[in-house]
Amino acid sequence: MSAVLHPDAQADALVRVRGLDRAFEQGVERVFALRRIDLDVRRGDFVSIMGPSGSGKSTLLNVLALHDAGWTGAYSLDGHDVRGLGRKERQRLQRDTIGFVFQSFNLLADLTVAENLEMPLSYRDVPRSRREAMVAETLDRFGMVAKRGLYPSQLSGGQQQLVAVARAVIARPPLVLADEPTGNLHSDQAREVMELFSRLNREGTTIVQVTHSEENAACGQRRIRLRDGWIAE
């Protein structure tokens, strides 16, 4: 089975996957988590990957995020053939192209909000004065100026996830990948995060999220449903 591709996807695909398989060894057996995945995501898309537990959603997201290199098939990201890249080139592409939002926030507990936001900029060799300006701008943009000196343990779950989203987008990557971004939040906090995603998408950020929530999926433009590793529709 293959996905029905977005109309005119060839013209402006940020993500293009063809015939992607991902298998894992379990004893003497090979178990496929993904089978023959074809997928295009255009610049400016907001796509939700859905399906039951074990359907391959997070596996696919990890492949797209360049966290997992054990797949076969073809994957082009921002015009780069991922399979043809060396390790350092792949890391550079990941750093410059992708912001990742985890379900469990993954903030550094011993760093303040401002320091957590500055961390990804330090990996990009952004000068310190510019980092400080970008952190200040992001704190203002996300309404978190008053929380710049707080530590993650002093924030609510929803506030921690807002910081995690801000950290993912502070360097303005063209693509944000989110793995169950509201999975640990109550409904009001979840709604706030999804409203933020919708705003980022309107501003031009391409978003691919894994979610079980039809309400969250309704914030996007397309749903990709997986079942037993196959695209079901």
Q: State the CATH number of the domain containing residue 156.
A: 3.40.50.300
pLDDT reported for residue 10: 52
**In a domain? residue 61:** yes
**In a domain? residue 179:** yes
State the average pLDDT over residues 184-192: 88
Per-residue pLDDT tens digits for 51-62: 999 999 999 999
Cα 121 to the center of its chain, rounded Å: 17
**In a domain? residue 63:** yes
pLDDT reported for residue 12: 84
Question: Two tokens at 157?
Answer: 């779950």
Q: Is the pLDDT of residue 9 over 60?
A: no
**In a domain? residue 76:** no
Beta pairing class for 71-77 and 80-81: antiparallel
Q: Which structural domain range is residue 102 located in?
A: 44-69+84-231
Q: Looking at per-residue confidence, does 148 or 11 come out higher?
A: 148
Q: Is the pLDDT of residue 119 over 70?
A: yes
For residue 116, which of 153, 85, 61, 79 has the smallest C-alpha distance?
153
**In a domain? residue 201:** yes
Per-residue pLDDT tens digits for 155-177: 999 999 999 999 999 999 999 99
Query: Hunting for tokens 């993954």 — which residue is that?
Result: 106
pTM of the model: 0.90
**In a domain? residue 2:** no
Question: Two tokens at 131?
Answer: 């980092």
**In a domain? residue 18:** no
CA angle 88–168–160, rounded 5-degree value: 135
Q: How many domains does the chain have?
A: 1
